[in-house]
């Protein structure tokens, strides 16, 4: 049994750790513990719960109201790792500047970023959104169509990214990608980027935006873009979506062509 004197000796250290890492403890509470409790209580997945909320708090055919409902849920009810409104505004600005005609999104999850991107695209643009998880893709499909985007503008592809990228030209008729948004498994960022580099689908000026490169982080991806010489790049520093106090960043790459 630990004596009271030893316990008191460790108390300052414990308090220091709680204060220093309080935002990470909050993230664990909201992203893991709350989710597990609600999963057991409702019998629904987190993605199903947010879709139910959107149905009752957003207007069909209005992408802005759907994004607002997402943001309210994720900030006040239950954490979901969407790009969120703060980094989302950076994404909005880049899309406005780039005005891409052909977009590839890797990691639709439950449709937040898909709606955010699609609403900013010019008339006649084509958006290919990739999600490997079938349950999440089913929710994303409902969210995308609820926002008013049909299959002629936004095509949801339910498949792992490393299987889709090699088939974009043959199966989907894609000749060049103007804009790529990455927000799937961080370990896939580098191999998928290298696959895109070898595919011939990136042209000079093609833009790649990758979320969460600082937290949870994609160090191999960042190391590659620093060393390969194929990109002009920068990291837009921000905080993690819906959780203040955790530093994060979003990488912006502009492809310059082969060396």
- 131 has catalytic annotation: no
- 68 has catalytic annotation: no
- 241 has catalytic annotation: yes
Q: Which pLDDT score is estimated for 20?
A: 75
253 φ, ψ (degrees, to nearest 5):
-120, 135
- Average pLDDT of 188-192? 98
Q: From residue 78, give the alpha-carbon distance in Å to each of 121, 142, 185.
A: 29, 20, 21
Q: Which residue has the higher pLDDT, 149 or 4?
A: 149
pLDDT-wise least confident of 88-92, 103-107, 167-171, 255-259: 255-259
- Which entry of 183, 192, 248, 252 is annotated as an active-site residue? 183
User: If you count them, how many residues does the chain have?
Assistant: 259
- Which entry of 47, 211, 248, 252 is annotated as an active-site residue? 211
Give this prediction's pTM: 0.92
Question: What is the rounded CA–CA span in Å between residue 156 and residue 147?
Answer: 14
- Which entry of 47, 71, 241, 248 is annotated as an active-site residue? 241
How, if at all, do strands 247-255 and 231-239 pair? antiparallel
Specify whether the CB–CB gap between 255 and 202 falls below 8 A.
yes
- 47 has catalytic annotation: no
The structure tokens listed for 88 are 């989302």
- Which entry of 136, 186, 192, 248 is annotated as an active-site residue? 186
Mean of pLDDT over the chain: 93
Question: What is the rounded CA–CA span in Å between residue 82 and residue 28?
Answer: 16
Q: Which pLDDT score is estimated for 14?
A: 66
Specify whether the CB–CB gap between 118 and 144 falls below 8 A.
yes
């Amino acid at each position: 049994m630990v004596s009271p004197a030893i316990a008191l000796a460790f108390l300052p250290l414990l308090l220091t750790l709680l204060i220093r890492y309080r935002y990470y403890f909050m993230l664990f509470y909201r992203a893991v513990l709350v989710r597990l409790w609600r999963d057991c209580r409702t019998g629904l997945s987190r993605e199903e719960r947010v879709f139910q909320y959107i149905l009752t708090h957003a207007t069909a055919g209005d992408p802005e109201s759907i994004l607002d409902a997402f943001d309210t849920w994720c900030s006040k009810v239950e954490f979901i790792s969407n790009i969120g409104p703060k980094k989302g505004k950076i994404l909005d600005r880049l899309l406005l500047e780039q005005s891409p005609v052909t977009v590839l999104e890797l990691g639709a999850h439950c449709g937040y970023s898909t709606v955010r991107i699609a609403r900013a695209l010019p008339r006649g643009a084509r958006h290919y959104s990739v999600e490997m998880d079938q349950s999440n893709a089913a929710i994303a499909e409902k969210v995308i169509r609820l926002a008013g985007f049909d299959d002629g503008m936004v095509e949801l592809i339910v498949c792992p990214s490393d299987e889709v990228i090699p088939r974009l030209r043959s199966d989907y008729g894609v000749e060049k990608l103007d804009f790529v948004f990455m927000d799937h498994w961080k370990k896939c960022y580098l191999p998928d980027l290298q696959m895109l580099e070898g595919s011939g689908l990136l042209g000079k000026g093609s833009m790649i935006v990758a979320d969460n490169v600082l937290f949870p982080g994609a160090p191999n991806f960042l190391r590659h873009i620093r060393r390969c010489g194929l990109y002009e790049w920068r990291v837009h520093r921000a905080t993690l979506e819906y959780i203040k106090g955790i530093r994060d960043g979003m990488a912006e790459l502009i492809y310059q062509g082969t060396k």
